Amino acid sequence: MADEEEDVPFEEDAEDAGGGLDGGQGKRKRLFSKELRCMMYGFGDDQNPYTESVDILEDLVIEFITEMTHKAMSIGRQGRVQVEDIVFLIRKDPRKFARVKDLLTMNEELKRARKAFDEANYGS
Amino acid sequence: MGHGRGAEAEAADGEEPALQPCAAKKVKLELKERKEKKQKVDEDEIQKMQILVSSFSEEQLNRYEMYRRSAFPKAAIKRLIQSITGTSVSQNVVIAMSGISKVFVGEVVEEALDVCEKWGELPPLQPKHMREAVRRLKSRGQIPNSKYKKIIFH
């Protein structure tokens, strides 16, 4: 692997040099390192991703969720986050929109199936 | 109150539906056909996926399993959202937010892999790939950013 000098994997460097990213969030305890590693591998990275890259991704995800949450709070019912708001916010992003629709549909089906199962058991 | 309702109900009963019966039937048929067509397309998709997955190497199977199964821990996502709103959020909100966050991760990783390849380098992805990926996604408006414009050094 060639040019790695410029980005020698030290956490401080990764954050300071991260022009567009909030370097200051590095101090927070890591919330989803394990899960992100699996995700990165699933999406095509090496089976053992670099910790620094995982950390950058975590910061990005937290920023993403924070942005979405703030936006959702400012539309629809103020100060609250509702599913309809999220769906509205991503309506122009075909992938995310389709995914949310799928997830919510599947969840409804699961709930119905579970309910039917419970009722059947209660009957016997 | 009771009088008004009774009169309205009577009037409504006497009316014909807005569409003629045969036109209404036509619409119903069209919708049914469209639904069946979509189901067929979905079934084809499922079949194709099965053929594809059955031809995977062990490494590909491993990766595919991670791709499907990896997920953000619901509790952590819920805590994060609630720490921002200060109120509680429904389970559906957590499900939706976790879902689109995963899609988001996929977009960044795939873009970073493109960058990595373009620069003639190999995985594992390095911070510089991630940062360049973010730059590109931002310029395509795929990353939400409602803060003030930051000057990014190239």
Q: Which of A35-49, B116-130, B139-153 has the lowest mean pLDDT?
A: B139-153
Mapping DSSP to helix (H, G, I), strand (E, B) and coil, where does residue B147 land?
coil
Question: What is the residue extent of each domain of chain A?
Answer: 28-76, 91-123
Does the beta-carbon distance from A53 to B125 stay under 8 Å? yes
Q: Which two tokens stand for residue A66?
A: 């924070």
Q: How many CB pairs under 8 A join A and B?
A: 186
**Partner B contacted by A7 (CB < 8 A):** yes
User: What average pLDDT does this structure show over A13-25?
Assistant: 46
What pLDDT is recorded for position A70?
93
What pLDDT is recorded for position A11?
45
Does the beta-carbon distance from A42 to B68 stay under 8 Å? yes
The kind and range of the H/E element at A36 are: helix A33-42
Does the beta-carbon distance from A65 to B77 stay under 8 Å? yes
B83 pLDDT above the threshold of 60: yes
Kindly give, in sequence order, each residue whose CB lies less than 8 Å from that of residue A41, ignoring residues fewer than 6 positions away. A47, A49, B63, B66, B70
Residue B51 φ/ψ, nearest 5 degrees? -65, -45
Sign of the dihedral through C-alpha A32, A33, A38, A44: positive
Of A42, A83, A86, the CB nearest to B63: A42
Distance from CA of A112 to the nearest CA of B (A): 15
Which residues, numbered 103 to 122 in chain A, qualify as contacts with chain B under a Cβ-Cβ cut-off of 8 Å? 103-104, 107
Q: Diameter of chain A by CA atoms? A: 69
- CA dist., res. B132 & res. B105, Å (int): 14
A112 pLDDT above the threshold of 50: yes
Q: Which of A69, A73, A97 to mutate to test the interface with B (most CBs of B within 10 A)?
A: A69
- State the CATH class of domain B91-144: mainly alpha
Statement: A28-76 belongs to CATH 3.50.50.60: no
**Partner B contacted by A75 (CB < 8 A):** no
Side-chain-side CA neighbours of B12 within 13 Å: the count stands at 6
- CA dist., res. B47 & res. A109, Å (int): 22
Q: Which two tokens stand for residue B127?
A: 């911070």
Of A4, A45, A80, the CB nearest to B85: A80
pLDDT tens digits for range B26-58: 999 999 998 888 888 888 999 999 999 999 999
pLDDT tens digits for range A21-41: 444 455 678 999 999 999 999
Instruction: Decide if B71 contacts B102 (C-beta within 8 A).
Output: yes
Residue B3 φ/ψ, nearest 5 degrees? -60, -50
User: What average pLDDT does this structure show over B71-84?
Assistant: 96
DSSP letter (8 states) at residue B126 = -
pTM exceeds 0.90: no
pLDDT tens digits for range A70-101: 999 999 888 899 998 889 888 889 999 999 99
Q: Which of A115-119, B4-8, B61-65, B97-101 has the lowest mean pLDDT?
A: B4-8
pLDDT tens digits for range B86-115: 999 999 999 999 999 999 999 999 999 999
Ordered alpha helix ranges (H), chain B: 2-14, 21-54, 58-69, 74-85, 91-118, 127-139
Q: Across chain B, what does the average pLDDT equal?
A: 86
Q: Which residues of A touch B62 (CB under 8 A)?
A: 47
Q: Which of A43, A50, A71 to mutate to test the interface with B (most CBs of B within 10 A)?
A: A43
Q: Of A14, A7, A107, A89, which Cα lies nearest the Cα of A56?
A: A14
DSSP string, A61-90: HHHHHHHHHHHHHHSSSTT---HHHHHHHT
What pLDDT is recorded for position B151?
63
**Partner B contacted by A38 (CB < 8 A):** yes
Q: Give the C-alpha distances (Å, rounded to integers) separating B127 from A22, A62, B47, B73, B121.
A: 14, 17, 38, 24, 13
Q: Which of A40-44, B4-8, B117-121 has the lowest mean pLDDT?
A: B4-8
